[in-house]
Structure 1
Amino acid sequence: MVESITPRTGAADPCAEGYAPIVVLGIGNLLWADEGFGVRCVEALGQRWDFAPHVQLVDGGTQGLYLLHHVQAARQLLIFDAIDYGLEPGTLKVVRDKDVPRFLGAKKMSLHQTGFQEVLSLAQLTGHYPERVLLVGCQPQELEDYGGSLRPVVRAAMEEALALGVEALRDWGAEPRARDGAAAEVDGVTLPSLALERYEGGRPTAEAACRVGDARFMPAAPAGD
């Protein structure tokens, strides 16, 4: 389910060094359940698609102001993020161009969005702001689950989000080409240890997980208990 989608077409404008730089940015925190939606989308793009050399996929995490140089370098900027729109979990919403910083400012969900709104504002102040900005956001279902992963409804929404992203990238001249196989780990956007399949495979069950701290450093129970 998608809200407020306005199709945009047209090839990217060439520049002196070739095509205009395109940055695909996933922001959020993988360790807080649906907060990881944006990073998981960029990770999946890197695994499934090859792009032209002027396209950069970035795991933005919660880096805030450290993402400024990526935004300043982009002529076109595609952002994936989990955002509380007040809609049904898993609902996608697309926001474009000048509405993106205004929307993030009005719909703060976590500290990383506050920081990224500042990044966009600073890029505008420095005169190095993308000509096109597209935000593909997803309504989260669960955020208060440290160590958790995407909920099924949000994970299912990734497929439509990726299709929207690839369509925009194709229009911008990113030349997406479906991979024959999965990307090598060394080419991955996220750290290999945090890649979705390995992350899921290494998680303990909810019953086995320690929810009060790191069991390796907790004091041993007194004898006889």
Structure 2
Amino acid sequence: MLLPRIMVMGVGNILLSDEGLGVRFLDQLAKKSLPESVELLEGGTAGLDLIHLIREVDFLIIVDALNANAEPGTLFRLQPGDLHALSEHREVSFHEIGIIEVLAIANLLDKSPKTLIFGVQPKSLEWGVDISPEIEAQFPRLTELILEEIDTIQLKGTFTSVLSA
């Protein structure tokens, strides 16, 4: 049986403390034993350059800082459409070209994988390379949630239906 290709992408600017949480999180996830069909990618702040990187995967799981005006460390589990609806009310991404735009363009090119986004409300966006303790404390739970998604994708070919972030 051919397993679906899964990419876990961490995005963000590692020079702006919690803005880089997606990239820093991948360091933790890389310590886990992952199936061969799972690829980890540091998307950084690459913006549109990410389109060619995601077109070859079946499932994309994104980890990023998310501005939802919530308590620092709050986890969100969203589909791209949820993120688009949220962005109508506020700027949710801290990047010049956010993941919404990247996914929209990939979709126009018929290259968009099934996508799930795990967002974390940052505490600090100040210059610095350290992640706030409140944010780093969420990494074990985030790891657990993403490993559950990977298992479900491999078993059922879809994301979990439970929205329990």
TM-score (normalised: structure 1): 0.63
Alpha carbons 1:30, 1:39 under 8 Å: kept: yes
Alpha carbons 2:19, 2:94 under 8 Å: kept: no
Q: Among residues 120, 124, 128, which one is paired with 1:138 in the alignment? A: 120
Q: Counterparts of 1:1-225 in structure 2 under 5 Å? A: 18-47=2-31, 49-103=32-86, 106-112=90-96, 114-130=97-113, 132-144=114-126, 146-173=127-154
> Any gaps of 5 or more consecutive residues in structure 2?
156-165
What is the identity percentage for the equivalent residue pairs of Structure 1 and Structure 2? 32
Q: Partner residue of 1:10?
A: none
Equivalent position amino acid for 1:19 in 2: L
Distance 1:63 1:97, change over 3 A: closer
> Any gaps of 5 or more consecutive residues in structure 1?
1-13, 175-225
**2:52 counterpart SS class:** helix
Distance 1:124 1:25, change over 3 A: same
Query: What's the C-alpha RMSD, in Å, of the aligned pairs?
Result: 1.9
Distance 1:109 1:123, change over 3 A: closer
Task: Find the aligned partners of 1:20 and 1:109 in 2 and give their Cα distance.
Answer: 28
Offset of 1:59 from its aligned partner? 0.5
**1:173 counterpart SS class:** helix
Offset of 1:173 from its aligned partner? 1.4
Equivalent position amino acid for 1:44 in 2: Q
Runs of at least 4 residues of structure 1 off by over 6 A?
A: none
Equivalent position amino acid for 2:10 in 1: G
Structure with higher Rg: it is 1
Q: Partner residue of 1:220?
A: none
Equivalent position amino acid for 1:154 in 2: I
TM-score (normalised: structure 2): 0.84
Task: Find the aligned partners of 2:25 and 2:129 in 1 and give their Cα distance.
Answer: 17
Distance 1:164 1:104, change over 3 A: farther
Alpha carbons 1:24, 1:58 under 8 Å: kept: yes
Offset of 1:122 from its aligned partner? 1.2
Task: Find the aligned partners of 2:51 and 2:86 in 1 and give their Cα distance.
Answer: 18
